[in-house]
């Protein structure tokens, strides 16, 4: 009797939610990519190392990237979001960096895995790209959050629609800031993630006034 659908994440969004198998695959993937590079690491190699079949691999991860990057969605931390919205300062962008970057890059489950994953990602341009796309995936969410801050800063003549569009634009600017941050990390400009984030914040507050046409 056909049990049609069986696997954990059959062709839908990958889950990897904590299952031991997924975790094994992840750490094998990260380790092998660190050792041999991304292109030189085949899915078969990862499967052999993790002791699973190729089919199982793809049951857990939609793509090879996903196994390396990790699939835990970079959710926004609720309490941080509340604090962000509550703040009334004009440093919307600068505040937003920490909202995404700190939980997304640092906070995690297994610190060792996170560190190795970080290395694996920053060692490869294509993977970096994917990572940035993941950040981009919460852009819509960020736009919404940003809207709360911007609404309070709106000037007389602006409609709600204007504010919404400005929020979308700001969310994209934020993505740019994130990319700059990631680039700094890739350049290996020393320091922890937190210090790089702080540095970005400083540069941002320095340059923004110059760009705002009075």
Partner DNA sequence: AGTCAAACTGCAGTTACTGCATATTGAGGT
Partner DNA sequence: ACCTCAATATGCAGTAACTGCAGTTTGACT
Residues 143-182 that bind a copy of itself (CB under 8 A): 150, 153, 155, 158, 162, 165-166, 168-170, 172-177, 179-180
End-to-end Cα distance, the chain: 72
- Contact string (CB under 7 A) for DNA, positions 16-45, x = contact: ---x-x-------------------xxxx-
Question: For DNA, which residue of 23, 34, 48, 56 counts as binding (CB under 7 A)?
Answer: 56
H-only helix segments in 51-192: 54-60, 64-69, 78-86, 92-101, 111-122, 125-137, 139-152, 160-186
Q: φ and ψ at 131, to 5 degrees?
A: -60, -40
Nearer to a copy of itself, 44 or 189 (CB): 189
The item of a copy of itself, DNA, none sharing an interface with residue 85, based on CB under 5 to 8 Å by kind, is: none
Query: Which of 61, 3, 75, 73 has its CA nearest to residue 30?
Result: 61
Q: How far apart are CA 160 and CA 162, in angstroms?
A: 5
- Contact string (CB under 7 A) for DNA, positions 81-100, x = contact: --------------------
Footprint of a copy of itself (CB under 8 A) = 89-94, 129, 133, 150, 153, 155, 158, 162, 165-166, 168-170, 172-177, 179-180, 183, 200, 203-214
């Amino acid at each position: 009797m056909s049990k049609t659908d069986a696997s954990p994440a059959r062709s839908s969004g990958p889950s990897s939610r904590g299952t031991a198998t997924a975790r094994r695959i992840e750490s094998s993937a990260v380790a092998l990519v660190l050792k041999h590079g991304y292109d030189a690491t085949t899915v078969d190699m990862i499967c052999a190392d993790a002791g699973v079949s190729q089919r199982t691999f793809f049951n857990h991860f939609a793509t090879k990237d996903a196994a390396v990057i990790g699939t835990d969605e970079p959710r926004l931390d609720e309490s941080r979001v509340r604090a962000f919205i509550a703040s009334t300062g004009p440093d919307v962008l600068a505040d937003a960096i920490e909202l995404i970057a700190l939980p997304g890059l640092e906070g995690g489950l297994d610190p060792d895995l996170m560190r190795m994953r970080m290395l694996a990602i920053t060692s490869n341009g294509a993977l970096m790209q994917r990572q940035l796309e993941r950040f981009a995936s919460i852009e819509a969410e960020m736009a919404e959050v940003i809207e709360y801050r911007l609404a309070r800063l709106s000037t007389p003549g602006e409609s709600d629609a204007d504010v919404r569009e400005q929020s979308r634009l700001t969310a994209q600017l934020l993505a740019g800031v994130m990319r700059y941050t990631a680039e700094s990390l890739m350049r290996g400009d020393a320091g922890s993630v937190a210090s790089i984030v702080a540095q970005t914040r400083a540069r941002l507050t320095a340059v923004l006034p110059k760009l705002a046409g009075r």
